[in-house]
A = this chain, B = another copy of it.
């Protein structure tokens, strides 16, 4: 709970739901990553929250940046960061976007197939590439699909091919899955990465870098391990699999960097029941899946919610958003306990909303504005 955010909300005079991000917490998070993994470079995953104030703060703290598009690259360059602090981490890129990134000075690119290597060789000659390897994501709250990465055998062929086309076969990346609470996940992935390093060495190519991706969790309602425990587990796994030849390493925290730094203020629009006999209250907020809380999809993330009636007796409620869309329901399979005294017009605070809220917002579904954002 950030007192600075509460103060800001007390003073604000605009109407409607908004997210407020506290830069002090982002700064603390950056320092925690830097301290816990002192030999690892932090590449902030811009997609989690690309607010210019957040990017500028992280630039000033010495962070590097993981970008998904030329649009994100340009946002980062606008902070004054040099292009050598940028990784174009999307494995799916148009050739003309690779060319634009190269013109901007970007020299580090993700790939997971030879087709992408060919594009980079054509328009970003001499660049460093890292190959993303499929990882099974066991233990993650959101295991990833197979969308990104290739199997480790194919990765060695992709890297060798890049080398032959004059690119620098630089390393390997993986992603253990979002909101990953299982510290062992990195051990499994690092073992696989070390295998690719060994195979490449046999082919006469020395890889340099392991990009360990993101997946660092934010605390929602369930407890999660703290950053220091991740740092320890990751360092031990690195030593176990790479011995005394530790590669240079990168992490790409997004949610872990900004998730707990933001809070949404929303308003109770309606509280009703479906029939006279119905015990279940439906509570409708002015925020839902289409203007900020997309990550409640499948009720995957359960945000902590504070109300002005906390302490009163609670009963289970279905919680829903304000649009005329029946999928715009936040918690129904597992109803949310809310005070019986909660009233129409009450303001509620939704915690840990700094990541993946503003940018998931629709442009104006049902005529509602995208989530307003304040960074303080």
A149 to B112, CA, bound (A): 49
Question: Chain A interface mostly helix, strand, loop or mixed?
Answer: loop
Q: Once the chains bind, are A145 and B366 in contact (CB under 8 Å)?
A: no
Give chain B residues whose Cβ lies under 8 Å from the Cβ of A329.
145, 147
Q: Once the chains bind, are B92 and A270 in contact (CB under 8 Å)?
A: yes
CB distance from A125 to the nearest CB of B (A): 19
Give chain B residues whose Cβ lies under 8 Å from the Cβ of A344.
95, 115, 119
Q: Once the chains bind, are B134 and A274 in contact (CB under 8 Å)?
A: yes
A75 to B366, CA, bound (A): 11
Contact of A269 among B75, B94, B290 (CB under 8 A): B94
A299 to B370, CA, bound (A): 25
Question: Would A324 and B90 be within 8 Å (CB), given that A116-B272, A272-B112, A274-B134 are in contact?
Answer: yes
Give chain B residues whose Cβ lies under 8 Å from the Cβ of A92.
269-270, 284, 320, 322
Question: Would A115 and B364 be within 8 Å (CB), given that A154-B275, A326-B147, A329-B147 are in contact?
Answer: no
A322 to B50, CA, bound (A): 18
Q: Once the chains bind, are B145 and A332 in contact (CB under 8 Å)?
A: yes
* Interface footprint category on A: 35 or more
Say whether A151 faces chain B, with CB atoms less than 8 Å apart. Answer: yes
A265 to B304, CA, bound (A): 41
Give chain B residues whose Cβ lies under 8 Å from the Cβ of A204.
none
Give chain B residues whose Cβ lies under 8 Å from the Cβ of A332.
145
Residues of chain A having any CB pair with chain B under 8 Å: 45-47, 50, 67-73, 75, 89-95, 112-113, 115-116, 119, 134, 142, 144-151, 153-154, 157, 267, 269-276, 282, 284, 286, 290, 297, 320, 322-329, 332, 344-345, 358-370
